[in-house]
């Protein structure tokens, strides 16, 4: 029983060392030709990206311009009408707020510097995401 416990602990420790990348897992051939396969730890060793804080909240949205940006996830027909409904709601319930709807150029993961510049120059806030 004690021998099985020691063997089990040795296997667990060896697996942990392979998992954290301290020891590669190598399978040997029957002859002395060298390793057949080496498996390395898939753990990502890069550091987290620097985080940028969110913009400060507006005291009020009265008289402000809010951009609604569809990131183009799901294509041009992916519930774009949701942003139009939001725009209609503001027109009826808070007409002093200007709502601008934009669709980001390119696919959802592509950058759109021209749009971000427009929002920075003309907008007070932006909701960026999927409209549906």
Non-local CB neighbours of 65 within 8 Å, separated by 6+ positions: 97, 98, 99, 100, 122, 123, 124, 125
CB 25 within 8 A of CB 38: yes
Confidence of residue 40 (pLDDT cuts 50, 70, 90): confident
Share of the chain above pLDDT 90, in %: 34
The single residue listed with the structure tokens 């390395």 is: 40
Tell whether the model's pLDDT for residue 5 goes beyond 90.
no
pLDDT of residue 132: 58
Closest Cα partner for 115 from 101, 126, 104? 104
pTM for this prediction: 0.59
Q: Is 28 strand, coil or helix?
A: strand
Domain boundaries along the sequence of the chain: 2-39, 65-129
d(CA 102, CA 99): 10
Q: Which of 51-55, 71-75, 85-89, 110-114 has the lowest mean pLDDT?
A: 71-75
């Amino acid at each position: 029983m004690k021998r099985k416990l020691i063997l089990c602990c040795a296997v667990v420790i060896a697996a942990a060392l392979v998992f954290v990348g301290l020891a590669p897992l190598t399978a040997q051939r029957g002859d002395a030709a060298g390793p057949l396969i080496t498996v390395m730890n898939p753990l990502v060793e890069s550091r987290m990206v620097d985080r940028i804080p969110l913009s400060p909240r507006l005291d009020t949205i009265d008289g402000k311009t809010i951009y609604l940006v569809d990131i183009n996830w799901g294509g041009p027909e992916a519930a774009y009408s949701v942003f139009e409904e939001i725009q209609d709601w503001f027109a009826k319930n808070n007409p002093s707020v200007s709502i601008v709807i934009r669709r980001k150029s390119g696919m959802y993961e592509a950058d759109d510097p021209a749009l971000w510049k427009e929002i920075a120059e003309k907008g007070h806030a932006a909701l960026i995401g999927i409209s549906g």
